[in-house]
Chain A
Amino acid sequence: MPATMSPLLRRRENISGYLFLLPSLVFFLGFVVVPMGMCIWMSFTNANMDINTPTDFVGLANYVELWKDPVFLKGLRNTIIIVVVSVPVVCAFSLWVASAIYRMKEGPLSFFRIVFYLPVVTGSVAVTVVWKWMYNRYYGIFNYLLKNGGIIDKNINWLGDQKYALACIILILLTTSVGQPIVLYVSALSNVDHSLVEAAEVDGATNTQVFWRIKWAQIMPTTLYILIITTINSFQCFALIQLLTSGGPNYATETIMYYIYYSAFKLQRFGYGNAMGVILALFIAALSAVQFRLAREK
């Protein structure tokens, strides 16, 4: 704002600015801030659906119970496995694909972008139904191919066997998660300053050196963004679990997100579910902060 602006004009500018902000602010407050506050408050209560049982303040009881709950701990373990596996794989795979396609002509480039982005825009229910069919123990395509290929002699119960179930979920998650990072990386790589690349090449830098010393540094903000959204998506993996396994078999695919839903809406323990929600939010915030810090240091 120019220093010479009169107070009256400044006030008018401020008012119009706030008026512009107002509608989104109302929604932000109503649908984000207030529910967040309610969530934190309810996590300290025994809130449930029973009208006859008054909601009482229980302090940290829900949080204490969480750490003694074997299902929550199993869900936490599974969630961490999903994050640890899917985040690096999604980032590395999408960077690799983007590096391979970003110099292509418009036609092939669009084709690959569509192929990888399609699972993102397809409804999660539709995607899940297709995967469920492929994983089907009795007539799924995986068992059909493996059996006819002589690799297995008995059908595998992909989603019903705790040895495979979580891996199956992660595989689906990967296919639905790489689309956006690929598009972002293609865009970021295309925007890398070519004069720097050419200068490095003239100075005798190898392709690997060019990539790590110039391109990688320039796409770091995109990488940071991708890391954060992939981490959040992996932490919040819910629809796949709900539609495919309901957390089974034997809690092998239980995640915190699914357990929140189960506790709050199936057992109607809102207080307990909210406590888990707070823990999940803290995990995501902590991990995002670490990612930010590491990226900034680099």
Chain B
Amino acid sequence: MKKLLALLLALCMIFALAACGETKTEEIKEETKTEETKEETKTEETKEETKTEETKEEAKTEETKEETKTEETKEEAKPEETKEEAQPEETKEEAQPEETKEEAAGATEITLWTYPIGNWGDEATVKALTDAFTAETGIAVKVEYLTYADGDDKVNTALTAKQAPDLIMEGPERLVTNWGVKGYMVDISDMFDDTDKAEINAAALAACYAPDGAAYEYPVVMTAHCMAINYTAFKEAGADQFINLDTHTWTTEQFFQAVQALYDYYGDTVGALYCSGQGGDQGTRALVNNLYGGTFTTADHTAYTWDDPLNIKALKALYDQAGIDFDASINGGEEIANFYNGIFKMAFCWNIAQQLNPNSAGTGAGLTGNGDEIVFMAFPSEDGTAKLQGGIWGFGIFNNGDDAKIEAAKQFIKYMCDSEHTAEAVRASNFFAARSAAEGTDLSGVWADNEVMNEYTKILPMLGDYYQVTTNWPTARTAWWNMLQQVGASDGSEGAITAAVNEFCGQANTPAA
């Protein structure tokens, strides 16, 4: 009897395993159901999502509620016909030809993985955007939120397991240089017509193309990375005389004078070249490159040139400056935390999103934890005109071999990057639109009502070369912060710094075997 029971138990387990296998078959069957059934399922899903949305809406803050309500009212106020009429002819034809529309609708659901690009990492904000897209197109968007700490690993793992999402939102250094040229992404160059090419910022557009002419990203927002100072501390230490507050610029000489003044006054670390990892590394690169006009790559993005003597001079000057540390125990995020805490008087990892971000201490945007005023600054250079590192973000499509999903993903991109809804997508990011206009909607005034954003536009013309698309970028990126660690651990002699720079720049220029 016992044996019989044991046998039954074992059989149950086998059947359970087999049943697990059959679930997949069921899912496949589901996919091959008729169009009508799909529509029903879709309605059910949409209903459920609407319910969830309602519940979430209740939990939202008063401000968000008002914003959402306004958006909803706008949507409701538009009669269906008017909406369609409002769409320019070209958009209608391009985005939804009748057959494609049906195919895309057949996809019913696409997946989007997004890095925390401003509020594109915030579920409530993104849900409002994707729900609006779903309401207009009938395509549901399942969103997964990545972090910069492990996002790349998740994507790489998904790619090797053939479980990649349909869409991904990040910058060209990942979408183009990493996944695009390795053959994982769909060439979306057909999405750029002449009008798009004229409207999109030239540097942003160029960064979305791989050397073979294929486009793997559609840009939506961009910014220029900068640095920040604790203006209150600067004033206390008398270092405010070294900055031009109107233009947010300073020269290399003024920068070192300011650091010295702060160090003399506080007797402690003023700022740190953080190098525990790659987080926020654009800040340290921009600082080193700007001080004496060094370069990071060749103009055609084929080789790394940070062994430039001007960069070595900058590293030596930073090493020798009291108050500046090479800190291998922190990364960019931790540097910002130390800046907010008042430990550092300047931060090299900064951009407009940080400037607008109310700090966790609740003292408000543009203030440190103890209420000191934060002022954003361009990186110092010899003539006071910096070349700022650009940040470009947009969408790319992973080639999962499903044409319907690819079409649906293209519809999503069109909706977010080139339609009357683009302004909302831009606002969600806290960055600037990557194009001047989208389907007749002027995007230059997206932030017209925001004083800080308007002030920030003063440094945008200093946007420099977007070199993150250079070959071998992941290796080069790691080599950079490892080099900073070695420089920091060295005796600071020019020979030691040169040796470290040459070793790691050499690594960056050596393609992996």
Residues of A within 8 A of B (CB): 12-13, 16, 19-20, 22-23, 26, 46, 48-52, 61, 65, 135-139, 157-162, 245-246, 248-251, 262, 265-269, 272
Q: Which of A248, A269, A272 contacts B328 (CB 8 A)?
A: A248
In angstroms, Cα B474 to Cα A268, docked, is 9
Query: What chain B residues lie within 8 Å of A267 (beta carbons)?
Result: 474-475, 478, 512
Query: What chain A residues lie within 8 Å of B277 (beta carbons)?
Result: 246, 248
Could you jot down 18 A-B contacts, CB within 8 Å?
A: A16-B10, A22-B10, A23-B13, A26-B17, A49-B156, A49-B159, A138-B338, A138-B341, A139-B343, A159-B276, A159-B328, A160-B488, A162-B489, A248-B275, A249-B488, A250-B485, A250-B489, A268-B474
Q: Please, which residue of chain A has its CB at the minimum distance from the CB of B503? A: A70
Mark out the residues of chain B between 148 and 178 whose CB falls within 8 Å of any chain A CB in the assembled complex: 152-153, 156-157, 159-160
Instruction: Say yes or no: A250-B3 contact (C-beta < 8 A), given A50-B183, A267-B474, A268-B156.
Output: no
Query: What chain A residues lie within 8 Å of B485 (beta carbons)?
Result: 248-250
Query: What chain A residues lie within 8 Å of B276 (beta carbons)?
Result: 159-160, 245-246, 248-249
Beta-carbon contact of B10 and A157 below 8 Å: no
Beta-carbon contact of A248 and B482 below 8 Å: yes
A281 to chain B, nearest CB (A): 21
A251 to chain B, nearest CB (A): 8
Q: A19-B11, A158-B329 are in contact. List 17 more A-B contacts (CB 8 A).
A: A16-B7, A20-B6, A23-B13, A23-B14, A51-B182, A157-B327, A160-B329, A160-B330, A245-B328, A246-B276, A248-B482, A249-B328, A250-B482, A250-B485, A251-B482, A266-B474, A267-B478
Beta-carbon contact of A137 and B14 below 8 Å: no
Q: Which of B153, B181, B182 contacts A265 (CB 8 A)?
A: B153
Query: What chain A residues lie within 8 Å of B181 (beta carbons)?
Result: 50, 52
Beta-carbon contact of A12 and B182 below 8 Å: no
Query: What chain A residues lie within 8 Å of B133 (beta carbons)?
Result: none
Beta-carbon contact of A16 and B183 below 8 Å: no
In angstroms, Cα B513 to Cα A65, docked, is 10
In angstroms, Cα B473 to Cα A209, docked, is 64
Q: Please, which residue of chain A has its CB at the minimum distance from the CB of B344? A: A138
In angstroms, Cα B195 to Cα A199, docked, is 97
In angstroms, Cα B173 to Cα A281, docked, is 35
Beta-carbon contact of B482 and A49 below 8 Å: no
Q: Which of A65, A137, A250, A268 contacts B486 (CB 8 A)?
A: A250
Q: Please, which residue of chain B has its CB at the minimum distance from the CB of A52? A: B183
Query: What chain B residues lie within 8 Å of A159 (beta carbons)?
Result: 276, 328-329
Residues of B within 8 A of A (CB): 3, 6-7, 10-11, 13-14, 17, 152-153, 156-157, 159-160, 181-184, 269, 275-277, 327-330, 338, 341, 343, 474-475, 478, 481-482, 485-486, 488-489, 512-513
Beta-carbon contact of B338 and A12 below 8 Å: no
- Summarize A's interface: helix, strand, loop or mixed: loop
Beta-carbon contact of B329 and A137 below 8 Å: yes
Beta-carbon contact of A249 and B489 below 8 Å: yes
Query: What chain B residues lie within 8 Å of A262 (beta carbons)?
Result: 478
Closest 8 CB pairs of A and B: A51-B183, A160-B329, A249-B328, A19-B10, A160-B328, A159-B329, A50-B182, A249-B485
B164 to chain A, nearest CB (A): 11
In angstroms, Cα B328 to Cα A161, docked, is 7
B340 to chain A, nearest CB (A): 12
Interface centre among B17, B277, B485 (most CB of A within 10 A): B485
B280 to chain A, nearest CB (A): 13
Query: What chain A residues lie within 8 Å of B478 (beta carbons)?
Result: 262, 266-267
Q: Please, which residue of chain A has its CB at the minimum distance from the CB of B328? A: A249
Query: What chain A residues lie within 8 Å of B11 (beta carbons)?
Result: 19
B401 to chain A, nearest CB (A): 12
Query: What chain B residues lie within 8 Å of A65 (beta carbons)?
Result: 513
Q: Please, which residue of chain A has its CB at the minimum distance from the CB of B156? A: A265
Instruction: Say yes or no: A269-B512 contact (C-beta < 8 A), given A160-B330, A162-B489, A249-B485.
Output: yes
Query: What chain B residues lie within 8 Å of A266 (beta carbons)?
Result: 152, 474, 478
Query: What chain A residues lie within 8 Å of B513 (beta carbons)?
Result: 46, 61, 65, 269, 272
B16 to chain A, nearest CB (A): 9
In angstroms, Cα B1 to Cα A16, docked, is 13
Q: Please, which residue of chain A has its CB at the minimum distance from the CB of B487? A: A250
Instruction: Say yes or no: A49-B160 contact (C-beta < 8 A), given A20-B6, A158-B329.
Output: yes
A14 to chain B, nearest CB (A): 12
Beta-carbon contact of A22 and B327 below 8 Å: no
Query: What chain B residues lie within 8 Å of A135 (beta carbons)?
Result: 329
In angstroms, Cα B255 to Cα A224, docked, is 61
Q: Please, which residue of chain A has its CB at the minimum distance from the CB of B483? A: A250
In angstroms, Cα B276 to Cα A49, docked, is 26
Beta-carbon contact of A19 and B7 below 8 Å: yes
Query: What chain A residues lie within 8 Å of B330 (beta carbons)?
Result: 137, 160
In angstroms, Cα B269 to Cα A143, docked, is 15
Query: What chain A residues lie within 8 Å of B475 (beta carbons)?
Result: 267
Query: What chain B residues lie within 8 Å of A19 (beta carbons)?
Result: 7, 10-11, 14
In angstroms, Cα B193 to Cα A55, docked, is 37
Query: What chain B residues lie within 8 Å of A249 (beta carbons)?
Result: 275-276, 328-329, 485, 488-489
Query: What chain B residues lie within 8 Å of A248 (beta carbons)?
Result: 275-277, 328, 481-482, 485
Query: What chain A residues lie within 8 Å of B153 (beta carbons)?
Result: 265
Query: What chain A residues lie within 8 Å of B7 (beta carbons)?
Result: 16, 19
Beta-carbon contact of B329 and A157 below 8 Å: yes
